[in-house]
Amino acid sequence: MTQTTPTAPPDAALPDAALPVAAVQAEPEPGNVAGNAACAARLVARAADGGARVVVLPELFLPAYHPPTLAGDPAGTDVPAGPDGEVADPRLDPLREVARDRRVVVVVGAAVRHPDGRRTCSALLVDGAGRVDAGYAKQHLWGPDENALFTPGSRGATLLVDGWRLGLGVCYDGCFPEHGRAAAQDGAHGYLCPSGYLVGSEHRRDLYYRARALDNTMYVVFANAVGGPAPWRFNGGAAIHDPEGRTLDRGPDTGVAVVVARFDPAELHRVRDAHRMLAERLPGQGGKRHLLTG
């Protein structure tokens, strides 16, 4: 359920128990929301079989990241959100069922139509009771296609699961250090990023999210699509990074993969005790600077 909560400080209490999470990579079919939801449900079940409590799927996975289809059939590719953020679209029933049956939390990319007419590139949340919420709307839109299709989100979002505070981002959001830092300043222990990285971007794909992990001493989950019609061909590499930016596990550049790893509160404590960037950061570093000449 969507609600506004007080901001937690970066040194908020750490969780008591480990949290198994999964990052998924797969190829959705453009425009086939029902079919992609059924595919997502099968992948969530596979992740749950691997012990996952939280499962993250790629950006715009439900309609597929294919701008011509998104532009040509908005009614068919969007899922509608109600005034309280709930998404009642029956095409998502397979995801509701697997979330309820397996007691998992699912984060999956979708194009969302809001009651006020806005269309957002969003990270939907399916909770363990099967409720689907519009979740988080991507704040940084990438390129002319996304800017033509969507309205940017206006605020961040934090998901609370079993005592773990998890910041939400979508793809290009993770390219901005300030976005991950905002999550960390809200007390995030982890950062979940449904994404869509194209073939040829492998270096940036692997670097950005490891950097966000180390910058903020938090776990990072990166989910990405694979395949797709040219020129929107995606390069997989779904990964989970630890709070020092080390990769715990990673999928290949092609093919379906479900990567599962544990967020460990003891490791989070060890890293934050050793690397105190959050606790020791100085305020006001964007102010007036002293100019030196050489």
SS3 sequence of the chain: CCCCCCCCCCCCCCCCCCEEEEEEECCCCCCCHHHHHHHHHHHHHHHHHCCCCEEECCCCCCCCCCHHHHHHCHHHHEEEECCCCEECCHHHHHHHHHHHHHCCEEEEEEEEECCCCCEEEEEEEECCCCCEEEEEECCCCCHHHHHHHCCCCCCCCEEEECCEEEEECCHHHHHCHHHHHHHHHCCCCEEEEEECCECCCHHHHHHHHHHHHHHHCCEEEEEECEECCCCCCEECCCEEECCCCCEEEECCCCCCEEEEEEECHHHHHHHHHHCCHHHHCCCCCCCCCCCCCC
As a whole number, mean pLDDT of residues 210-219 equals 98
As a whole number, mean pLDDT of residues 122-131 equals 97
Q: In the prediction, which pLDDT does 87 show?
A: 97
Q: In the prediction, which pLDDT does 136 show?
A: 98
* The two three-digit tokens of residue 200, written as one number: 């040829």
- The model's pTM: 0.94
Q: In the prediction, which pLDDT does 11 show?
A: 53
* Residue listed under structure tokens 């999956």: 108
> Packing angle between helix 177-185 and helix 202-216, nearest 10 degrees?
30
As a whole number, mean pLDDT of residues 102-131 equals 97
Distance CA 27, CA 38 (A): 13
For 231-280, how does the pLDDT look when each residue is reduced to its tens digit (9 = 90+)? 999 999 999 999 999 999 999 999 999 999 999 999 999 999 999 999 99
Distance CA 201, CA 235 (A): 8
* Residue listed under structure tokens 């060890």: 270
Q: In the prediction, which pLDDT does 12 show?
A: 61
Q: Is residue 58 within 8 Å of residue 194, measured between CB atoms?
A: yes
| Length in residues, the chain | 294
* Residue listed under structure tokens 């300030």: 178
- What does each C-alpha distance from 257 to 129, 168, 190 come to in angstroms? 26, 21, 21
Mean pLDDT, the chain, rounded, equals 95
Q: Is residue 275 within 8 Å of residue 244, measured between CB atoms?
A: yes
Q: In the prediction, which pLDDT does 51 show?
A: 98
